[in-house]
Chains A and B, each alone.
Chain A
Amino acid sequence: MTTATSPRSREFVATVKLLTFPLLILAMFGLFAMFEPRIASARNLVNISSQSTYLIVFALAQTVVLVPRGFDLSLGNAVSFTSVATALALTSSFAAGLPGYAVVVLGLLTGLACGTAVGLFNGFFASVLGIRSFIVTLGAMNICYGLSATISGGRPVFNVPEAFTTFFYSGTFAGIPAPILWTACVAIAVHVVLSNTVFGRTLYLMGCNPRAVEVAGLPRRKYFAIAFVLSGALVAIGALMLTARTGTGEPNLGGNLLLQAIAAAVMGGVSLSGGRGGVFHAITGALFITVLSNGLNFLQISGYLQQIILGLVIILAIALDKSRD
């Protein structure tokens, strides 16, 4: 049996495959713009890129656990919990009168502590006790909901200090808006971890065959737990960026995020059965969802109808995922 495809043509096919989805997003964008020219305005383009940043971070968080064949249902409520807890820390009497940089550091530390704590919880039960991550994070989802409702009393926490909102939302650094800059940093860091470290390589291998990884002497359980902690830290960074944007700690912030993050990751090409997908996929997936909802907003499609469309998109994404195997 001989194959007729040369290495060069294989490379070509791979490139085409990689570019199909971004081109599809462009086509969808063009279609929307035909109905509503304002969609193609410079202002809306800036709008889309800054809106997509949050989803990119959350899609990356989901990707980091999907690759080693995990799943994180707690993402949305972990965002709410982190947001409320950070806002409370920042508005407490203790924080009053702190200089600007200290406010930022305090916020960052509180947020990361909350996010990684949730990740550690998920990672511990999923890897050390070997409970399915679907179940563990379902529990964590409820726990996070309870925690954020309890500490906030179910009400938004107002008066988040300006130093914090500037750093994570309204400020610019060398002309780059803060959300875009931080998202770029996060994306580069995650890319380096996934494709240039032993840890990242192992995540892909165990997503494909966990037994093989054990036979090869690699620390499967430890790395699986670390993946959840890393994912938790990414969730925290996204939550801080969202908190800065709204200027409040919101107990209901996470609402749609879980579904959107999963849809973005899977739509972009991250496999639900593990072992496939990376930063590029998470970003394109997030852009797809953002362009879609932006276009639907401009066309004045009702929010409820958009929910239905998002649901269908997720099912479509999973069907695509299955067909790739």
Chain B
Amino acid sequence: MTRSKQASDASQNELLRLTGITKRFPGVLALSNVNFDLKEGEVHVLFGENGAGKSTLINVISGVLTPSEGAISLYGQPFRFSSPQDAREQGISPVFQEFSLIPDMTVEENLYLGREETTHGFLRKKEMRRAAMRILARLGFGIAPNARVSALPRAQQQMVEIAKALVTDPRILILDEPTASLTEAESARLFEFVRELRAQGVGIIYISHRMREIRDLADRVTVLRDGALISTVHAQDVTDDEMVELMTGRKAGVLYPRIPHNPGNVMLEARDLHTVRDRVRDASFQVRAGEIVGIAGLVGCGKSELVRAAFGLEPIDRGEVQFDGDTYAHPTAAQSLEHGICYFPADRGAEGLAATRPILENASMAALPENAFSIRGFLRKGSEKSRVQEIMERLQLRPMRLFAAVGSLSGGNRQKVVLARGMTRGTQVFLFDEPTVGIDVGAKAEIYALLGELVAEGAAVVLVSSELPEILGLSHRVYVMHNARVVAHLEGDEITEDRILSHFFTDHTDAA
């Protein structure tokens, strides 16, 4: 099927062709005999589970890794990259998931890092600023060129990262999950821009787990599994389910489990919370045992800060938090944990995990003061190990290696380690902040199933998410936030995409 289609597209100029690419690492076959090609003016999506070889493939294309076998031809000529700089000079610009920005420098300094424009060794600052402003304006995100990168929210850092890739006017642009930290609205703007580039003839390699994005953007989709090429298909020829089947190699099930709503006692309630830095203004919410409460809103609307404040990670100016029969004006993380409330951070690398330490230590981190883990400050290592082992078995950690460093794990397994932390002590209230960012569909389904189990056992779950389908698919009740305030509370049949979206964009309460 794919052969004939590709032949009919031969009118488009081919930018890149990989033939029989194999990449071996010591003990690991990361890519095995993979073919891939990219044409002028197309968006070619790479699709696959974590560890399928997508990252290795784009690292080969961008000159970071040298393939063990296989040939690359670029613009019709055989080519061997000797370095990332080499690839860049040939017009290939990658935007990786890991940011390459220097936090202490400004946006424009970052854009021109390593390729500063100079006259006789002096920086041509004015020209660079003008060019930077032009690129940023094109992206349309209102980012000031002289802003310090560390002061920007993650979504804007992502846009700077993309702007940086565009400075050199690339012919091939690689985007690795660019929307992971963007809201729907920001994503929509990015898509427009991607289409614009496509119309100009840029070839775009796009990695994403999100079906909607693939539907919106993709011309062709290449599916990888376990380092091997499964298929290259035209996007309009396959259904979503077929694509998931290609990726996982098994029948697509229902992603969102049906979770019965059995509301019990109020487990956690925040009343008129107002944080010191005004990221949350007079916001209230409550969650009962046996239900999932979604908190929806754009990135930067304060939804993450709201649960963080309730847990004890954001300084609170006024308002109060109530749990376990007591009222706190300034709860601390230690108090919350002691009362069975656990927060699972969105940014697992920055806030969740100690990467060089073993799975065991990361899983037990939040429960160390508990009697099962220590007595009078001394660790009970035997008991710790058996408890953690039990929990990791329930979470289906594969492979089960409790002493492996967390940094060596895939995204899905990392999230399991973070989840384990809530289960090492009798947690009754689970505060999830973007629990499925950067996780493949297979692992997502496992996490959703786990949420269902937890709620069935009587836990209270708060789900903060920028992914609307997730909120719609799982929540029993939804709070919508906008500009640091809770602007709507929806229940049952009221929870529809249109109603939530309408609250995302209207400023009706700000007038008050």
A residues with CB within 8 A of B: 1-5, 7, 196-199, 201-202, 204-205, 208-209, 211-219, 275-276
Q: A198-B369, A217-B332 are in contact. List 18 more A-B contacts (CB 8 A).
A: A3-B28, A197-B377, A197-B378, A197-B379, A198-B377, A198-B379, A199-B377, A204-B361, A205-B361, A205-B365, A212-B352, A212-B362, A214-B333, A215-B343, A217-B366, A218-B366, A275-B356, A276-B356
Task: Decide: B368 and A201 in contact? CB cutoff 8 A.
Answer: yes
Q: Which of B137-163 contact A (CB under 8 A)?
A: none
Q: Are B361 and A275 in contact (CB under 8 A)?
A: no
Are B368 and A196 in touch, CB under 8 angstroms? no
Do A198 and B368 have beta carbons less than 8 Å apart?
yes
- B450 in contact (CB, < 8 A): no
Q: Is the CB of A208 within 8 A of B366?
A: no
Query: Which of A1, A2, A198, A217 is in CB contact (< 8 Å) with B337?
Result: A217
Docked complex Cα distance between A275 and B353 (Å): 12
Choose among A1, A7, A214, A218 the residue that contacts B368 (Cβ–Cβ < 8 A).
A218
| B29 contacts A by Cβ under 8 Å | yes
Is B266 an interface residue, CB under 8 A from the partner?
A: no
Whether, in the assembled complex, B53 has its beta carbon less than 8 Å from a beta carbon of chain A, the answer is: yes
- Provide the bound-state CA to CA distance between A196 and B373, in Å: 11
- Interface pair B345/A215, CB less than 8 Å apart: yes
Contact A1 B51 (CB under 8 A): yes
In the complex, A202→B362 CA distance in Å?
A: 10
> Using Cβ atoms and an 8 Å threshold, which residues of chain A touch B356?
208, 275-276
Q: Mark B296-319, 1 if CB is under 8 A from A, else 0.
A: 000000000000000011000000
A160–B439 CA distance with the chains assembled, in angstroms = 67
Complex CA–CA separation, A199 to B345 (angstroms): 23
B381 within 8 A of A: yes
Q: Is B336 an interface residue (CB 8 A)?
A: yes
Q: List 18 A-B contacts (CB under 8 A).
A: A1-B51, A2-B29, A197-B374, A199-B377, A201-B361, A204-B361, A208-B356, A212-B352, A214-B333, A215-B313, A215-B343, A216-B365, A216-B421, A217-B334, A217-B335, A217-B336, A219-B334, A275-B354
Cβ A205 vs Cβ B28 within 8 A = no
A208 touches B53 (CB 8 A): no
Check if A2 sits within 8 Å of B28, measured CB to CB: yes
* A204 contact set on B, CB distance < 8 A: 354, 357, 361
Chain B residue numbers with a CB within 8 Å of A218 are 334, 365-366, 368
A139 to chain B, nearest CB (A): 24
Q: Which residue of B lies closest to A204 (CB)?
A: B357
Q: At the interface, yes or no: B511 with Cβ under 8 Å from chain A?
A: no
Contacts of B460 in A (CB 8 A): none
CA distance A209 to B345 in the complex (A): 13
- Contacts from B to A (Cβ < 8 Å): 27-30, 51, 53, 226-227, 312-313, 332-338, 343, 345, 350-357, 361-362, 365-366, 368-369, 373-374, 377-379, 381, 401, 421
Whether the pair A215, B333 counts as a contact (CB closer than 8 A) is yes
Q: Which B residue sits closest to A3, measured CB to CB?
A: B27
CA distance A117 to B29 in the complex (A): 56
The residues of B that contact A196 with a CB separation of less than 8 Å are 378-379, 381
- Taking a contact as CB atoms under 8 Å apart, the answer to whether A212 and B368 are in contact is no
The chain B residue sitting closest to A199, CB to CB, is B377
Tell me which residues across on chain A come within 8 A of B27, comparing CB atoms: 3-5
How many whole Å from B228's CB to the nearest CB in chain A? Answer: 11
B53 neighbours in A (Cβ, 8 Å): 1
> Does A212 contact B28, Cβ atoms closer than 8 Å?
no
* Residue of B332, B352, B354, B368 with most partner-chain A CB within 10 A: B354
Docked complex Cα distance between A146 and B377 (Å): 38
Are the CB atoms of B332 and A4 closer together than 8 Å? no
- Are B352 and A215 in touch, CB under 8 angstroms? yes
A209 engages B361 (CB within 8 Å): no
A205 partner, pick from B332, B357, B373, beta carbons under 8 A: B357
Of the listed residues B365, B369, B378, the one surrounded by the most CB atoms of chain A closer than 10 A to its CB is B365
Q: In whole angstroms, what is the CA distance A216 to B353 when docked?
A: 10
Output the least CB separation between A86 and chain B (Å).
Answer: 30
In Å, the complex CA distance between A210 and B350 comes to: 9
* Chain A positions within 8 Å of B379 at CB level: 196-198, 201
Cβ-defined contact, B357 with A208, below 8 A? yes
Residues of B within 8 A of A208 (CB): 354-357
Question: Given A208-B356, A212-B365, are A198 and B374 neighbors across the interface (CB < 8 Å)?
Answer: yes
The reply to whether B374 and A217 form a contact with Cβ atoms under 8 Å apart is no
- Bound-state CA distance A4–B26 (Å) is 8
List the B side residues contacting A212 at CB < 8 Å. 351-354, 362, 365
CB distance from A3 to the nearest CB of B (A): 5
Contacts of B368 in A (CB 8 A): 198, 201-202, 218
Note all chain B residues with C-beta closer than 8 A to A276: 356
What are the residues of chain B within 8 A of A2 when measuring CB–CB?
A: 28-29
Cα separation A219 to B369 with both chains bound (whole Å): 11
A residues within 8 A CB of B351? 209, 211-212, 215
Give the CA-CA distance A211 to B348 in the complex, in Å: 10
Shortest distance between the CB of B355 and any CB in chain A (Å): 6
**Least distance between B51 CB and chain A CB atoms (Å):** 5
Nearest CB on B from A274, distance (A) = 9
Residue from the list B336, B357, B378 in contact with A275, Cβ < 8 A: B357
